[in-house]
Amino acid sequence: MAPASLDDVLCGATAKLRAAGVENPAREARLLAELVVCRDDLRTLSAGETRHLATLVDRRTRREPFAQIAGVREFWSLDFEVTQDTLIPRPDSETLIECCLDRFEHHPPARILDLGTGSGCLVVTLLVTWTGSTGIGVDVSERACAVAARNARRHGVGDRAWVMCGDWAAALDSTFDLVVVNPPYVPSDELAGLDPEVALHEPGVAIDGGEDGYACYRRIVPRLATLLSNDGKAVVEHGPDQRDGLAVLAGDSGLCVVGEVDDYGGRHRVLVLAHRGP
Ligand code: GLN
């Protein structure tokens, strides 16, 4: 088979992606092509490359997320491996990182805990930034734990990051200076209405927050009181409408809200919790 002109192939791919409801189909077609070939003089595709691209385009028309097809997603300017077992790191969660860096600017936390670590993007990013800190990432999914451990090694912090499979903090009996949490918080009946990329392909266990979205917070927040060191802070991501409910839960658990941050879209997204003063 003769080489195909890239323009023709992209045109066909764009039409398929558009018909499948993918946003920015021309851009996505080009990005998928870049996964197949990375030459500067990209004018033609070999028969093999054309076939390879066609399989990627088919996956994308089934609304598989681009990050899962690429196997990687950038977060805080670092590339993280992602699979179907891990939530794809969101720009919203960069708000959480920014908040941690602000809070601990002059005094990095020695010990960090990341509950529901998934790809490990939170704890790994923090350990890359704070080279004297150690961290533990916990996830209920063994496969997610394997991805998190690979991401820790990928970014050179494998010797300071421990990844454990477990039920939140059930197996932990120590205290931490910083606990970061991005638990599943979407109410169950809203899942079906999310983009197909999320609803069909991302792990429900990482997104489904139970009937009212608070199921995991009810497990985690009361436990924070025993997990935080005296000056420790918990930095917790939440859905835009959950700020007040989460603050009440924190109050009931002997904690207080010492900070809050909106995401880049101006929605409530992160609360900072600490022990209540004497
Ligand atoms: N923010 C995610 C979303 O938009 C949900 C993440 C979560 O539940 N932790 O789908």
CA 221 to chain centroid, in Å, comes to 20
Query: Which residue is associated with the tokens 């009440």?
Result: 248
Q: Is 186 in the pocket of ligand 1 (CB under 6 A)?
A: yes
Tokens of 216: 């995991």
Residue range 40-79, pLDDT digits in tens? 667 888 889 999 999 999 999 999 999 999 999 999 999 9
Distance from the alpha carbon of residue 278 to the mean position of ligand 1, in angstroms:
35
Which ligand 1 atom is the nearest neighbour of the CA of 182?
Answer: 9
- What is the signed CA dihedral for 37, 40, 42, 47, rounded to 10 degrees? -40
* Closest alpha carbon to 229 in 160, 174, 189: 174
Distance from the alpha carbon of residue 137 to the mean position of ligand 1, in angstroms:
18
Which residue's alpha carbon is at the smallest distance from atom 2 of ligand 1?
A: 207
Which helix or strand (DSSP H or E) is residue 257 part of?
strand 255-262
Residue range 132-155, pLDDT digits in tens? 999 999 999 999 999 999 999 999
Residue range 229-277, pLDDT digits in tens? 999 999 999 999 999 999 999 999 999 999 999 999 999 999 999 999 7
Q: Is 185 in the pocket of ligand 1 (CB under 6 A)?
A: yes
Question: The pTM is what?
Answer: 0.96
β-bridge mates for residue 235, sequence order: 180, 272
Which residue's alpha carbon is at the smallest distance from atom 5 of ligand 1?
A: 207
Q: Is 198 in the pocket of ligand 1 (CB under 6 A)?
A: yes
Please check whether residue 205 is in contact with residue 140, taking contact to mean a CB–CB distance below 8 angstroms.
Answer: yes
In the sheet that 134-139 helps form, which strands lie side by side, from edge to edge?
161-165, 134-139, 111-115, 176-181, 228-237, 268-275, 255-262
- The Cα–Cα gap between 126 and 92 comes to 16
Please check whether residue 202 is in contact with residue 65, taking contact to mean a CB–CB distance below 8 angstroms.
Answer: yes
Tokens of 219: 């497990």
- The Cα–Cα gap between 227 and 221 comes to 10
